[in-house]
Structure 1
Amino acid sequence: MKWVYIAAGIALFIKFLIMPNPAPDLSLSIVQTLVQESGVPNAVTAVILRNRLYDTIFEVVVFTIAVMGAKFLLADEKPFCTIYQFKDEPSIVMARLGATIAAMVGIELAIRGHLSPGGGFAAGVAGGTAIGLVAITSSTEWMQDIYKRWNAAIWEKVSVLIFIVLAVITLAGFELPHGELGALVSGGVIPLLNILVAIKVALGSWAAILVFIHYRGLL
């Protein structure tokens, strides 16, 4: 039987060598088409939040389930007694400076992600990084108190629900006016989806960070 597999492998290899790949149709630029149809110059964002929006919906849902799963799986464990944090002043200053820069980058990526490299997921990661850097230099009780005071858990769920509603409306064929290509307010609903994803990922990261600090003592 192995000779059949070997012969099939050789035949497939010869096929790759002999049969040329079909030449691409250069008369139509895929990137140009994406930009024209979406109204945003960032073609990657156009793919994620328009052409493959159905996939993106479930990516957001999967991330939500992952955060809920972390809380559920660690709920029966005893809280960790020792919390590992930065104690020396230089490390604290550098971490908080990095958190400030990461937060500013996250806001920039969320607002202008449809115009330049970036987007909601990248912005959320930057925001989560900022929160993580603050968490390892601050009191856990203070971080938990701010999380509850600002109702971060509620805002996280609200952002997911609004994202799903807007995505379903878009998939149904209803789109906002694209506006002027390259303008900050352009691309229809895409900038709103970017901001919602950024909020969801950043707040979800915050929840996961607090859970792991509480039950593991470190990130």
Structure 2
Amino acid sequence: MKWIYVLAAIGFYLKMILLPNLVVPLEELSELSIVETIAQESGVPNVVSGIIFRNRLYDTLFEVVVFTIAIMGVRFLLADEQPAAVVHQFTDHPSIVLARLGATIAALISVELALRGHLSPGGGFAAGVAGGTAIGLVAITAPPEWLHQLYQRWRAATLEKISVLLFIALAACSLLGLALPMGEMGAQLSGGWIPWLNILVALKVAIGSWGAILVFIRYRGLL
């Protein structure tokens, strides 16, 4: 079978060399104004958010579902293990101060990216990662019991499930053509469902990361 792969590689190489005009010229591509078109259709300056939550919303919907299944898998696979006897954490004061300072900065960035991700670089996934980073930095400096109590007190598991269900509902409305008013370009409440989808994704990723961190701390004693 190797000779088939060799012939296919040679054919593909000859195609790129002998038929270069099949590629759209850069001049024609710039005239299409793809970025401007996406921005106008989505109603948000951040065209990446417009693509993720409008043009490719179907893919984004299943990305959220896959992340949810991954978090459920972590909990399921580690549920039969014995809790760790020792939890590895920072104990020196300078490391604790720096980690919590970093957690505060990451949390503020997470809120900013979630609320304004459709207006500037950022978005729901980046906001969720920043929020998960903040929680991870707190986890390596705080008692695991306190972090678990906080998780239970705020009913984070329930909030995570609600955020997923709301995201699926809003995504379904958008895919069916039920859209909010676009609003004024550059305004906070613009882009239809996009700002709300950003916030829901940020909540889902951050809280899901929190749950996974707690599981790894409990059963592995480390992150």
TM above 0.5: yes
Once the two structures are superposed, residues 79-136 of structure 1 have per-residue CA deviations (whole angstroms, 9 ceiling, x without a partner) of 0000001100000000000000000000000000001110000000000000010011
Number of residues of Structure 1 aligned to a counterpart in Structure 2: 219
C-alpha distance in structure 2 between counterparts of 1:112 and 1:155, whole Å: 21
Q: 10-19 vs 83-92, which deviates more?
A: 10-19
Aligned in 2, Cα 1:52/1:5: closer, same or farther, shift over 3 Å?
closer
Q: Alignment partner for residue 193 of structure 1, among 192, 197, 214?
A: 197
> Which residue identity lines up with residue 123 of structure 1 in the other structure?
A
Is the counterpart of residue 61 in structure 1 residue 65 in structure 2? Answer: yes
Deviation of 1:28 after TM superposition, in Å, equals 1.6
C-alpha distance in structure 1 between counterparts of 2:203 and 2:100, whole Å: 20
* Counterpart position of 2:115: 111
Once the two structures are superposed, residues 60-86 of structure 1 have per-residue CA deviations (whole angstroms, 9 ceiling, x without a partner) of 111111111111101111000000011
* Counterpart position of 2:86: 82
Unaligned runs of 5+ in 2: none
* Counterpart position of 1:18: 18
C-alpha distance in structure 1 between counterparts of 2:82 and 2:6, whole Å: 56
> Which residue identity lines up with residue 181 of structure 1 in the other structure?
M
SS at match of 2:126: helix
Is the counterpart of residue 205 in structure 1 residue 205 in structure 2? Answer: no
Is the counterpart of residue 93 in structure 1 residue 104 in structure 2? Answer: no
Deviation of 1:17 after TM superposition, in Å, equals 1.0
C-alpha distance in structure 1 between counterparts of 2:214 and 2:8, whole Å: 54
Once the two structures are superposed, residues 121-156 of structure 1 have per-residue CA deviations (whole angstroms, 9 ceiling, x without a partner) of 000000000001001100111000010000000000
Aligned in 2, Cα 1:78/1:9: closer, same or farther, shift over 3 Å?
closer
Deviation of 1:206 after TM superposition, in Å, equals 0.3
Quick one: percent identity of the two aligned structures?
67
Deviation of 1:11 after TM superposition, in Å, equals 3.6
Is the counterpart of residue 102 in structure 1 residue 106 in structure 2? Answer: yes
C-alpha distance in structure 1 between counterparts of 2:36 and 2:142, whole Å: 47
Q: Alignment partner for residue 70 of structure 1, among 63, 71, 74?
A: 74
* Counterpart position of 2:165: 161
C-alpha distance in structure 2 between counterparts of 1:129 and 1:160, whole Å: 20
- Normalised to the residue count of structure 2, the TM-score between the two structures is 0.94
Deviation of 1:7 after TM superposition, in Å, equals 4.5
Q: 15-24 vs 116-125, which deviates more?
A: 15-24
* Counterpart position of 2:179: 175
Once the two structures are superposed, residues 160-193 of structure 1 have per-residue CA deviations (whole angstroms, 9 ceiling, x without a partner) of 0000000000000111111110111111110000
Is the counterpart of residue 136 in structure 1 residue 137 in structure 2? Answer: no
* Counterpart position of 1:121: 125
Aligned in 2, Cα 1:8/1:204: closer, same or farther, shift over 3 Å?
closer
- Normalised to the residue count of structure 1, the TM-score between the two structures is 0.96
Deviation of 1:22 after TM superposition, in Å, equals 3.2
> Which residue identity lines up with residue 24 of structure 2 in the other structure?
A
> Which residue identity lines up with residue 126 of structure 1 in the other structure?
A
Deviation of 1:19 after TM superposition, in Å, equals 1.1
Unaligned runs of 5+ in 1: none
C-alpha distance in structure 2 between counterparts of 1:4 and 1:104, whole Å: 55
